[in-house]
Structure 1
Amino acid sequence: MAHFKPIFHLTVAHSFFANGRCTNLFFSPTPASLRLLHQHQLLVREDDSGFSLVADIDVTAAFDEEDVVRFEVFARDPYFGIYTEEIYSRSPTAPLYCSTHNITADNTSLVLEGQVPAESQDARSGRAKPGTQHPLLVVDIELSDKKILAALQDGRPVEYQIQFNTREVYWKYYFFGELAQMELDIHDLSPQASVTFDPSDEAVAKNGKAFISQQPIAMNSAPKQRFQLQDKSNSGKILIKRLPNAGVNLISKSKDLRGQQILVAEIYVNQ
């Protein structure tokens, strides 16, 4: 009877998500890696934020130095590159790279590198046909890693993670209708009260008004900001108790009050 046990487990963490777990990536073994997995009778078991390599402890033999399983990583979310700091400014044809050969000092995470090493290029990586999706990340798992070899003996899987960081963008509120005729002021109701907004000097369609944050705000799947709209000309009368928070679906380029180009998350309020 086969005794399948996980020998390697990889999870993806992302500070954009409220719970820190990234659940919208999928890992696809390259054709050469699929053959290698079959050769060594290894199984891939996906979970919501990563995958495990599972081996039949009774029959799987030690691995050779050249045995490397490569996964190409794709995003299910079309906005992933917008809210991910490491991905945003990269070319869509230039994936990030990480491997079990390069881990963080605390032995918990794979280090994200800028490009796939030329000597490790798989026949498929970086050569997608026109119109097909390119991977945003390439992951190499060296099966001869001493920790993985030890896992074959004691059955305790090697645990690693990949850490992505969220981007920071400025928030930009647009006000229309009766609100645009008032002397508006945006207050931060959080205990720190760290975010302030300035009126934008740009022309806004339909006689609207725009306000832009003085500092960028970390993007999050569940923003906790609490901004309140008040009327300065009417003793600070509350107009909107809590303004809507920014999302990732309305991101554009704009300029701050110094004329510097910045990235903004737009929020439209018509009342």
Structure 2
Amino acid sequence: MAWKILCTVALQHNFFPTTNSGPELDFVPSMETQTVMQSVGMLSRVDKNRILLSYDDEKEEILLSCIPMDTQQLEFIFQVYAQDLYFGLYSESSSAEEAPCYSNIKKNRKKNTAEEDGIFLTRCAGDQALAIRERAGNHARYPAQPAVLNFVISITKETYKEPKEYLIHCASRKTYWKYYLLGELADHEAEIIDLKGEINFQNAGHQFPFPGRTAMVFYSTEPIPLEERPNRQFQLRQSGNNGNKVLIKRLPNASIENLARDTLKGEQVNVSEIYINY
């Protein structure tokens, strides 16, 4: 008996620095997928943000017999749950209420995007996504925690012997960084400079974040993706004739703990609040 790899599926999240350092995930097969896996004697091995599916080569004929005659492709459907309760905070919000769905099944001419580390699954929409959600089902052991995504992997008699490495891309939530300068800094004529020259900040004047406390407020002029270990090099300097004077050499970066909603240019946006008290 020997185990053969069918495929691997990994979540690649922009919040984390590498593919291997993604969030802890639970991969839950649909009832029909679980039935097939049990009949074939398949194994699933989860390593943090990745699942590996393999099968017993002695049961290869059983695997092939599970492929439907009408569609000529066998589909493995999984719901994915995040163990990290902050997952929804640092992930890009979706306009849809339901969890997004991904697939390697080509319903149109658009090809799955290939990358050096694997093949990106295509995000589904409309009836295709609805069908995947319905077949994925609901799982009683996650009564209050919604799935973060669903995916389906399809194999055929021509492709099952070629193990594939699939990737699912998940973008980070983008926020406008909002610095509150409290204490003596609230009275300084200051500016925030990005030492890398990528991000600009705008002085929004004084606000009152707490009763009796005045703060000088700066907003980034564009939203910035959240990162697990951000390395933004923002510096607070004295503006005016003495503009070269550095007040704070390295301003703290945003974290996922201080997210809020604010109004910029008449629109509701996500902001990361950062308080500086000197």
CA RMSD across the alignment: 2.6
Alpha-carbon distance change, 221 to 95 in structure 1, aligned in 2, over 3 angstroms: same
Show the counterpart of 2:78: 71
| Aligned position for 2:148 | 136
**Aligned position for 1:197:** 201
The aligned counterpart of 2:188 is 182
1:120–1:203 Cα change, 3 Å: closer
| Aligned-residue offset at 1:167 | 3.0
Shift of 1:71: 0.9
After TM superposition, the runs of 4+ consecutive aligned structure 1 residues lying more than 6 A away are 127-130
Residue equivalent to 1:110: 121
**Pairing 1:1-271 to 2, within 5 Å after superposition:** 2-21=1-20, 22-61=22-61, 62=64, 63-65=66-68, 67-85=74-92, 87-91=93-97, 94-102=98-106, 104-106=112-114, 108-114=119-125, 117-122=129-134, 125=137, 131-144=143-156, 146-148=158-160, 150-151=161-162, 157-190=163-196, 193-201=197-205, 203-204=207-208, 205=210, 206-232=213-239, 235-236=242-243, 237-256=245-264, 258-271=265-278
Could you tell me which amino acid in structure 2 is paired with residue 165 of structure 1?
A
- Describe the SS at the equivalent of 2:60: coil
Distance of aligned partners of 1:129 and 1:41 in 2 relative to their CA distance in 1, 3 Å threshold: closer
Q: Distance in 1 between matches of 2:181 and 2:236?
A: 10
The residue aligned with 1:154 is none
For 1:36 and 1:80, locate their aligned partners in 2 and report how far apart those are by CA, in whole Å.
Answer: 30
**Structure 2, gaps ≥5 residues long:** none
| Structure 1 stretches lacking a partner, 5+ long | 152-156
Higher strand share: 2
Q: Is the Cα–Cα contact under 8 Å of residues 41 and 60 in structure 1 kept in the other structure?
A: no
Q: Per the alignment, do residues 112 and 123 of structure 1 end up closer, same or farther by CA in structure 2, a change over 3 Å counting?
A: closer
- Give deviations 1:61-99, integer Å, cap 9, x for gaps: 2131274322110112223223323x44432xx111122
TM superposition score normalised by structure 1: 0.84
